[in-house]
Amino acid sequence: MKKPGEVFADSSLYDPGIEAIVPRYDELHDAILNSPPQDRTEEIRVLELGAGTGELTAKLLTRFPESTVLAVDHSEGMLAEAERKLETFGDRADIVQGTFPDDYPTASDEFDLVITSLAVHHLPSAEKRTLFDSLADALVPGGWFVNGDVIRFDASHLETVSSAMIANWVRSKGWEEEEFMNRWQASDEFDDPDALTDQLLWLREAGFESVTSVWQYYNFAVYGARKPA
């Protein structure tokens, strides 16, 4: 039985597989890592939620050479892939199994930055709001939260346009979408995306400022917010 967000029954298929079904996956990661105000020289403490196979984690640790990260995920299979990928970063990467928002974050004023990619949309609306509240607590004053994720359009015709775009993207990789999903035992049955406008509002209500969307491609968006200094 798969857990929310595992996508593939076999986690070793995740890295090649996700590029085939998420358009502009690397660009989404880039937009996340271009958003925080910190620069390469700063010793930043980062929390990553839903780190999966550690793909964004590795890019973060490379982009910010003085950073350390607590990488959280509830999937044993995904974390096993992350352990392998992040070994080269030594104790800069602390990889833990846990669930958000139940187990993480735990402490107050602990992180300069919280990042997450393609994971928060698995939570129902109320749990997203609980998470945003706890992130406002877990960040240091002036700290940033950045999420790159699936969003829901309020207009059904735009959902149709997005679905067609993804089908075309998968086709450009040489597959028909249904054939790909069946062949690789992939599924997204736990998806529960909310509208971008709602999520931005919930961040404001959680006490964040500078709440802003920085990138969007159809139903994928990157948005961020700052805890007041």
Ligand X SMILES: C[S@@+](CC[C@H](N)C(=O)[O-])C[C@H]1O[C@@H](n2cnc3c(N)ncnc32)[C@H](O)[C@@H]1O
CB 104 within 8 Å of CB 98 = yes
65-85 burial code (b ≥16 CB/10 A, e <16): eebebbbbbbbebbbebbeeb
Could you say which residues in the range 12-31 bind ligand X, by CB under 6 A?
A: 18
Binding to ligand X by residue 170, rule CB under 6 A?
no
Q: Using CB under 6 A, pick the residue from 47, 95, 118, 211 that binds ligand X.
A: 118
DSSP SS3 for 55: helix
Q: Nearer Cβ to ligand X, position 117 or 199?
A: 117
Binding mask 31-50 for ligand X (x = CB under 6 A): -------------------x
Q: Nearer Cβ to ligand X, position 41 or 202?
A: 202
Binding to ligand X by residue 55, rule CB under 6 A?
yes
Q: Using CB under 6 A, pick the residue from 20, 47, 67, 74 that binds ligand X.
A: 74
Q: Which residues pair with 224 in a beta bridge?
A: 146, 212
- Of all residues in the chain, what percent are helix, strand and coil, respectively (each to 5)? 45, 25, 35
Binding to ligand X by residue 136, rule CB under 6 A?
no
Q: Nearer Cβ to ligand X, position 3 or 45?
A: 3
Dist. CA 136–CA 227, nearest whole Å: 6
Minimum Å gap between C-beta 13 and ligand X is 12
> 3, exposed or middle or buried, with CB in 10 Å at 0-12, 13-18, 19+?
middle
Q: Centre a 10 Å sphere on the Cβ of residue 60 and count the other Cβ atoms it contains.
A: 26
Dist. CA 107–CA 153, nearest whole Å: 34
Q: Using CB under 6 A, pick the residue from 35, 67, 117, 199 that binds ligand X.
A: 117
Binding residues for ligand X, rule CB under 6 A, total: 21
Could you say which residues in the range 87-106 bind ligand X, by CB under 6 A?
A: 99-100
Binding to ligand X by residue 3, rule CB under 6 A?
yes
Spatial CA neighbour of 183 closest among 53, 23, 13: 13
Minimum Å gap between C-beta 186 and ligand X is 10
Binding to ligand X by residue 147, rule CB under 6 A?
no
Task: Summarize as ranges the residues that interact with ligand X (CB under 6 A).
Answer: 3-7, 18, 50-52, 55-56, 73-75, 78, 99-100, 117-119, 122
